[in-house]
Structure 1
Amino acid sequence: MTLIIERILAIFLVVTGLSYLVQSLLWRDLVKELRQNPSKILLWSILFLPLGLIIVIEHNLWIGNWQVIVTLFGWLMTLKCVFNLLFPSWSNFILKWSDEFLQRYIQISGVVVAILGVIIAFFSF
């Protein structure tokens, strides 16, 4: 089961990271819209919480190799979803960011996310 989780997460991260790079304007607009309408944050969190929980429950490996990246990602995803569900306005500081800064942040995140996906894919396939 852990190998399946690793492979699914790897593909998810590569595709999402590339999407952040290629469609950064759309992602910027989505982030702004979500921050201005907290009810949509709840929906996104309800959709992504199960993925984080599956990783946390089925891939909770705290060992000194690349697999800990998957575990950390699962915990971060779970915690972010829980925060969004319990305190939807916790990240409203993003609303103060300029459009240019937010777009650059998304692009840099895309690079980081895609690289993490490639690393996980390299080791899991």
Structure 2
Amino acid sequence: MTLIIERIIASFLMITGLSYLLQSLVWKDLVKELLTKQTWLISWSLLFLPWGLIVVFGHNLWTTNWTVMITMVGWLVTIKCILYLLVPGWANFVKNWSDEFLQRYIKIAGIVETILGGGLLFLSFAQ
């Protein structure tokens, strides 16, 4: 079961990372739109909370190898979703970011996610 979770999370990270890189303008618009209404943030959190919880409950492995990164991603997603559900305004600071800065931030996140996802996917198949 943990191998499936590792491959799903790694694939998700790589695909979304590539999407951030190739569609940064669309992602910027999505972020701006999500921040206009707290109901959108709650909906977004309800969409992602289950997969964060699947990782937390199905892959809670605090090891000294690469698989701990999957556990950490699951915990980060779960915590972020809980914050959005309980305190939807906590991310309002992003509203003050310029469009150019937000788009650059998304591209950098895309690079990081693509590399992380690709590396984790490679490692999951190399086992």
Aligned to 1:55: 55
Shift of 1:120: 0.8
Q: How does 1:49-88 map to 2 (within 5 A)?
A: 49-88=49-88
CA drift of 1:60 comes to 0.4
> What residue is the counterpart of 1:112 in the other structure?
112
* Paired residue secondary structure (2:61): coil
Large movers: runs of 4+ above 2 Å? none
Cα distance in structure 2, aligned partners of 1:86 and 1:122: 36
The TM-score with structure 2 as length reference comes to 0.97
Corresponding residue for 1:92? Answer: 92
In structure 2, how many angstroms separate the alpha carbons of the residues matched to 1:58 and 1:11?
Answer: 17
DSSP-derived class of the 1:84 partner: helix
Aligned length: 125
The percentage of counterpart residues that share the same residue type is 61
The gaps in structure 1 that reach 5 residues or longer are none
**Deviation sequence 1:66-106 (CA, Å, 0-9, x none):** 00000000000000000000000000000000000000000
SS of the residue corresponding to residue 91 of structure 1 reads helix
Cα deviations by residue, 1:47-71 (Å, 9 ceiling, x for unpaired): 1000000000010010111000000
2:77 and 2:104 mapped to 1: Cα distance?
A: 22
For the residues of structure 1 that align with 2:30 and 2:63, how far apart are their CA atoms?
36
TM-score, structure 1 as length reference: 0.99
Distance in structure 2 (CA, Å) of the matches to 1:35 and 1:64: 37
Match in the other structure for 1:5: 5
Residue in 1 that maps onto 2:20: 20
Report the residue type matching 1:66 in the other structure: W
Matches of 1:33 and 1:15, distance apart in 2? 22
Q: What is the RMSD computed on CA atoms of the aligned residues?
A: 0.5
- Which sections of structure 2, spanning at least 5 residues, go unmatched? none
Which letter maps to 1:13? L
Query: What is the SS of the residue equivalent to 1:89?
Result: helix
Distance 2:17 2:80 in 1: 18
